[in-house]
A and B are shown apart, each in its own frame.
Chain A
Amino acid sequence: MSRRTALTAMIAGGLGFAAFGPRGAKQTADGRIVLDYWEKWTGHEARAMQKIVDRFNDSQKRIRVRYLTTAGIDQKALISIAAGDPPDLVGLWNYNVPQYAETGAILPLDELDEKGEVRPERYAQGFRPVLMHPDPYTKKNRQWAVVNTGGVLALYYNKGLLREAGLDPERPPRTLEALEEANHKLIKRAGPGTQSALERAGFLHIEPGWWSWIWGYSYGGKLYDAENDRSLAASPENIAGFDWVQRTSEEHGVDATKTFKAGFGNYDSPLNAFLTGKLAMVIQGPWLANVITAHGPKDAQGRPMLDYGVIPMPVIESQLDEKHPVGLIDCDIMVIPKGVKRPEACMEFMAYLQRQENVEAMALAHYKNSPLAVSSKAFLENHPNRGIRTFDSIAQSDRTYMVPRTRAWPQIKDELDAGLQRIWSLERPAKDELAMIQKRSQDYLDTVEAQRTQRGYGRGSNPTRGPAT
């Protein structure tokens, strides 16, 4: 073969590969529509969703869904949508809704949901606001997402450790005052003084540290005034919440806690501090039961032995209302990106996923509570988390809260994460730190508002263009 022939063959091969090479088929050989569904889950969580996807694929002959586990899903979804080649369905987090909804990156579901199968009324009261966000142009509240799996935060307590500290495990601390008192009794040290090594902590705001910003909510505060687009980080309630953080830090000792905490194992491991008894009380979602089942101590029959209870997040005495508990909603959502070819097929799959039996199957597999307004008796009875009724009652409460609904939240959260560490380390009084965070947060909010205004849908602008559809 001559050099010229070889070269020509190579070029032709390359061009042919580029033009006709393998790519994601959008239709199967038997004519079914192919939908790509990107999701963040791996392991047993992914397997649970794959089962439902398989059931859907077998249940009809029109659509075939391909489930793809995707790492760094929020960033990849962002880039694929920006590039105009998005997947058909994406599983994101609840805090993504404002950014995606405002920029028209996802489709509103209220128009697609002709049969009313995923309407907000189907969901527990606490979850409904998560699905909604104002349309950037009409300013009307619209539904943009469905809840894939729901989570609510509550306080877990180790009954054995409470008993050992002379506390009544059947009367756990429901107010912050009682929590501080219990905390004092639960702390165990190698010697006297806050410098001596910790052997057991009561409650630590920095463990696991995933929700650095929630402490003011127990005092009736909030972080963001959505109506006026103002940061409320330095409100008296938040200052009180973070003063409580500093009191707890002083009680445990800053350096002693840092050394003690460095010995905590990974969350999803037998060295989880709550499982090893190093930490008597912790704020967590229902999914902690999965870690307890997988890694906690077991009896001869292999049943989990850890004796724990679950109560709503304690609040100050004046905020206590046991019929209307306070708690953070933290959930996974599913959206349909802008630019998909067959939105009605996406909606059909979404509606299938949101059937009660599928929602509950997913929630059981993920050890989460159901986001629906009504949970079946079998779901509540068979759930592996003994506190499931507590989680369910929080989800139904009208006093739940969620991540502040602003596009600037990732920046604000990073400030709060860093701020919590400075407050916990007693580097600065909570009031001063929160004042600085409020100022910076407002700058971020103002930057986002400037972006909105430049594009014609700022707060003061009249809706002149159609909705994001």
Chain B
Amino acid sequence: MAANFWNSSHCKQLFDQEEVDVVHPLDKDKGITLEDFKLIKMHMAIPICKLAQQVKVRQRVVATAVTYMRRLYTRKSMSEYDPRLVAPTCLYLASKAEESTVQARLIVYCIKKMYSDDKYRYEIKDILEMEMKILEALNYYLVVFHPYRSLPQFLQDAGMNDISMTQLTWGLVNDTYKMDLILIHPPHLIALACIYTASVYREKDKTAWFEELRVDMNVHDVPSVEASFVYLTALSFWQDLVKNIAMEILDFYESHRLITDERINTAFNKLKP
């Protein structure tokens, strides 16, 4: 599982938090703050998710679409790339890249059904044009790894693969896409952080398992020389890293309660031309 992540374009494209938290100058001019920026990105995951349910694609496609959107905004402004068009287009592109193609026609139809609002009136032509622009902005890197893949193995290994724990951690992983974690951390560490968070939440002591796992990964999973440096670095801070990610997740839930519709609307209104 890890062997192909370490030499993937995804791995090479991981960002530092500081690189992700940069508001594009064009957006700054409109008064968009870092908080607005994060809020809009978080909020745009919702229509992607809703749309995905309508057109019936897997969670994996949603995750890839959100990742594309978040990667896009590390390079491009929201003023030039309207989030309301970017979101459905990312889902469209992700559906193709993840081999479950959805017709552009269907996406446009579903958007119209979901929103009466004029701001969401986009035609097929707009989606196709934006698709090309997004592809270019992503530099045509389309393969994304997600925490979902390693989740069942980890859960089974930890003896926590009952339905309730599986559902809880799966839900936690879904929620990590409301943050920028997928741009910053290797996906299996995000998976572990979610398991860690879940075990703390359900008050299950899994310290021993996490210790064991660390040793295990040390022995089996060291890939090529080039990647092993990255890997060993990760390994030595391994527990801290997982804990830090888990803390971020908890922080997110904490602040998430305080977000109001009004706050979101204010952020979106700043984007108006």
Partners in one complex: no
B contacts, CB < 8 Å to A: none
A contacts, CB < 8 Å to B: none
